[in-house]
Amino acid sequence: MSVRVVPFDAVPGSVAGSRVVRPVWALATVEARAYLRSIPLWLGFALAGAQWLFTDLAQERWVGSQYTDVVGMAPATAYVGVFVAATLIGLRDRMGQATPLSSVGPVDPGTVASARLLGGLVPVALIVVMLSAGVVWLDQRGGIVVGGVHVLPQPADLVLIPVLVGLAVATGIAAAQLVRSRAVVVGVGSLVILLTTVTSWMFGAADAFLPAPYAPRTVDLGAGFDTRSAPAGWRLVAPDSVGEHWRRSSFEQAAVGWHIVYVVGLLALLVAVVQRVHGRRAQAAALAAGGLVACVIGGVLQVVARTGPWV
């Protein structure tokens, strides 16, 4: 991938042209354009959009399967595409593909890495636009069938998707600082993303701590459950035969909300790694401390929310 290097004195808002905007923000605009030119990013987004468009929303293989396909699994290709794009951008200087931006202006490699993280706000903004359009489209189609009821994606589940895109950016940039091999980073990283998203069900109870848990979950209500006692907001699944247990299809928004806190903590830890690699110990320590606190609080409370009696 060839990259056109913009002279530092020609970058809008740079130190040479402005005393107001810091170099990292000026370089972030350069890196933002690199994300927009990334073929893997657009391919990942296209595949995610295609799954939304071609999923039969009216048919379920099991309770909540369509919701899982559209809200949980469809964005997985977007995560991979963003990760690959961020990795290639992060490895650009180390692979000798272009003159490092830090060599054409008074900025250090840490500033360049920070600019690449900030440029990653572009794919985050793109996924927000895509999700907004998708929700409108789903609304026009009548929503997603869950337990015989048509519903729209829940707010916390939607918020989690752009947060995971941000995590993919931070993961790609951090990996590029630590591993020189493009094949290793892209190959292993993409495999890990797919394992922790599309096939996260393989990990059983540990999936609470994987990046993308999928709602809804089926909660067993017992054979003698009185449906008249169920709150109005519950989506009940009738037994397949006499004597079997009633079930509830639960979206567990409180658990997903705390899971978002957990993922934000992971993101902060990865940014701390990037800062630490470039010798910014104070910033790295602050980010690591905040990220660790978010991971612990979010991790514990998401488990509590998922297993509590109110689920």
Residues 35-59 have pLDDT tens digits of 999 999 999 999 999 999 888 888 8
Across 266-281, average pLDDT: 90
d(CA 65, CA 59): 9
Backbone angles phi, psi at 236, to 5 degrees: -95, 145
Asked whether residue 14 carries a pLDDT value surpassing 50, the answer given is no
Q: Are 3 and 90 in contact (CB under 8 A)?
A: no
For residue 107, what pLDDT band results from cuts at 50, 70 and 90? low
Write the CB contacts of 255 (distance below 8 Å, at least 6 apart in sequence). Answer: 208, 213, 302, 305, 306, 311
CA atoms within 13 A on the CB side of 35: 32
What burial class does residue 191 get, using C-beta atoms within 10 Å of its C-beta: 0-12 exposed, 13-18 middle, 19+ buried?
A: exposed
- For residues 165 and 124, is the Cβ–Cβ distance under 8 A? yes
Longest CA–CA span in the chain (Å) reads: 77
Question: What is the rounded average pLDDT of the residues 27-33?
Answer: 88
Write down the pTM of the prediction.
0.85
| Residue 91 pLDDT exceeds 60 | yes
Residue 211: Cβ within 10 Å count: 22
Residues in the chain, overall count: 311
Q: Is the pLDDT of residue 225 over 80?
A: yes
pLDDT bracket for residue 242 (50, 70, 90): low
Over 80: is that where the pLDDT of 155 sits? Answer: yes
What the block records as the tokens of 266 is 């992971």
